[in-house]
Amino acid sequence: MSQSNLEKQEAKLKQINQKIKDEKNKIEQNLGKQIIRSANLDYGTLTTPQIKMIAKKIAAFLNQDKNNQ
């Protein structure tokens, strides 16, 4: 393979990795929005410790549910 072919493949790989990263961010943002809406939380009053606590509670709930299946 020539150097330019390798460079093209590397560029494609970087693009694919960026698309994956963008999609993960989009999913995380959508999940967060849905949780905030469903729980009737106020964006303006959420603190970092509260966000971490909520995330831990949701994770524990999901892990418990997964273990019960």
CA pair distance 33, 25, nearest whole angstrom: 12
pLDDT recorded at residue 12 = 96
pLDDT, one tens digit for every residue, the chain (69 residues): 567 999 999 999 999 999 999 999 999 999 999 999 999 999 899 999 999 999 999 999 999 967 776
Amino acid identity of residue 42, one-letter, is D
pLDDT in tens, 34-51: 999 999 999 899 999 999
Give the integer Cα–Cα distance in Å for 54 and 36: 10
